[in-house]
Amino acid sequence: MAHINKDEMVLRYHQFSTDDIRAITKTLTTNYNVERLFLDGNYLQEQAAQHIAKLIISNDFITELSLVDNRLGGGEGTKEICRMLTLNQNLKKINLSGNKFNELDVAQLIEAFERNTTLRELDLSHNCFGEKCGEMLGAFISGNDSLEYINLGWNNFREQSAIDMIGGITENTRLRRCNLEMNGFGPSGGQILAECIKKNTVLEELNINGNRLNTQNAFAIGQALSVNDTLQVLKIADNQINSDGALAVFLCIKANETNRLRELDFSHTVVTHETVNICEDIKKLKNGNFKYQVGKVTPELLKSNADTICYIKTNTDLLKKLRTNAAKVKPNEN
């Protein structure tokens, strides 16, 4: 193995057999160089998972492990991962994305996560967590005081499941970065997200792209941002938000002179020239330290988007109030 003397070993998509994994892990058991091990996309079997668990338990030098796309969920693979996490106290980062973990696995995984106090970054994206998982994950996240990053994107959190899970994030006092994209939270989840942004005082980065949020949610999120002074990066692209919803968010950011936002992603969201002008004002107020992404810019006389269930009718009175508040904050033209 060419990387045996380096601090990183990348062995992705080789379709290793169980014997291959046995040989690799045996070699690494007494290796003191490799700190980051990537075994993505090898469709590992249960016995291979046992060898990996044995390695991680016995090797105190590996601090980052990536097992993306290995289909470990739903059986003995889950048990081995849990055993590994319970007995190892050196891993700082683990990526378990794309392993088909589901509601049958979540209780075991949470028990292992709760017993592990060294993990700082956890990726559970692209799995099959859904309706029956939100409450358990929310309770775990709420009380966890070691994780600084969690990725739960591309799962199936909906309605009450989403509400429970987001509630846990709201109460957490350690998480700095959180990815929740492509879960389809819907309007009810969007309202809880707004509460999370309003109440959580430690989150610095939040990704809520592609969650079927509507314009009413955007107004609520904007108002939450008007009192938030910790969030630095917000990704809210690919939702069902009209141009006035996007405008409301930017108006609230401008009005909050203590906000720390440096990046806001509204990609693929149609906006007006007024919104672009507000964005440029924010950029000036932050001395250029503000990056924004939006979709197409419409003609200035464009009317609000349709009154469909997706593009809920704009609250014109509230928008007028937000414009007034934002107008009080003027960038230095010098």
User: In this predicted model, what pLDDT tens digit does every residue of 149-175 receive, in sequence order?
Assistant: 999 999 999 999 999 999 999 999 999
Q: What share of the chain is helix, strand, coil (3-state, %, to 5)?
A: 40, 10, 50
Residue 10 β-bridge partners? 38
Residue 227 shares a structural domain with residue 142: yes
Token pair, residue 227, equals 């009192």
Residue 104 shares a structural domain with residue 116: yes
pTM recorded for the entire structure: 0.94
CA torsion sign for 308, 216, 189, 117 is positive
Rounded to the nearest 10°, the torsion over CA 306, 311, 312, 315 is: -80
Question: Which one of 242, 267, 287 terminates a domain?
Answer: 242
Which runs of consecutive H residues, i.e. helices, occur in 59-201? Answer: 76-87, 106-115, 134-143, 159-171, 186-199
For strands 93-95 and 263-266, give the pairing: unpaired
Residue 72 β-bridge partners? none
Q: Output the pLDDT for position 261.
A: 98
Question: Which one of 242, 272, 299 terminates a domain?
Answer: 242
> d(Cα 162, Cα 246) in Å, to the nearest integer?
23
| Residue 2 covered by a domain | no
Residue 159 shares a structural domain with residue 29: yes
| Residue 44 covered by a domain | yes
Tally of domains within the chain: 2
Question: Which one of 242, 263, 285 terminates a domain?
Answer: 242
Q: Span 219-234, mean pLDDT? A: 98
Amino acid at 126: H
Q: Span 203-212, mean pLDDT? A: 99
Amino acid at 202: V
**Which pLDDT tens digit goes with each residue over 260-299?**
999 999 999 999 999 999 999 999 999 999 999 999 998 7
Q: Say whether pLDDT at 308 is over 50.
A: no
> d(Cα 326, Cα 328) in Å, to the nearest integer?
5
What's 151's domain CATH number?
3.80.10.10
Q: Span 122-134, mean pLDDT? A: 97
150 backbone dihedrals φ, ψ, rounded to 5°: -140, 140
Residue 189 shares a structural domain with residue 307: no
Nearest to 42 by CA among 112, 87, 99: 99
> d(Cα 104, Cα 245) in Å, to the nearest integer?
39
Residue 39 shares a structural domain with residue 21: yes
Residue 155 shares a structural domain with residue 247: no
| Residue 201 covered by a domain | yes
Residue 94 shares a structural domain with residue 176: yes
Q: Output the pLDDT for position 5.
A: 74
Amino acid at 212: R
Residue 181 shares a structural domain with residue 283: no
Which runs of consecutive H residues, i.e. helices, occur in the chain? Answer: 18-29, 46-58, 76-87, 106-115, 134-143, 159-171, 186-199, 215-225, 243-255, 273-285, 316-327
Token pair, residue 269, equals 């969201």
Q: Output the pLDDT for position 304.
A: 53
Look up the domain containing 209 and give its range.
Answer: 8-242
207 backbone dihedrals φ, ψ, rounded to 5°: -110, 115
Answer whether 13's CB lies under 8 Å from 38's CB.
no
Residue 212 shares a structural domain with residue 300: no
Q: Output the pLDDT for position 59.
A: 95
> d(Cα 116, Cα 110) in Å, to the nearest integer?
10
Q: Say whether pLDDT at 51 is over 70.
A: yes
| Residue 91 covered by a domain | yes
How many CB atoms sit inside 10 A of residue 263's CB? Answer: 14
Q: Output the pLDDT for position 313.
A: 61
How many CB atoms sit inside 10 A of residue 288's CB? Answer: 8
Average pLDDT, the chain: 94
> d(Cα 166, Cα 164) in Å, to the nearest integer?
6
| Residue 203 covered by a domain | yes
| Residue 48 covered by a domain | yes
Confidence of residue 302 (pLDDT cuts 50, 70, 90): low
**Which pLDDT tens digit goes with each residue over 55-84?**
999 999 999 999 999 999 988 999 999 999
Residue 287 shares a structural domain with residue 271: yes
| Residue 3 covered by a domain | no
Distance of CA 249 to the CA centre of its chain: 20
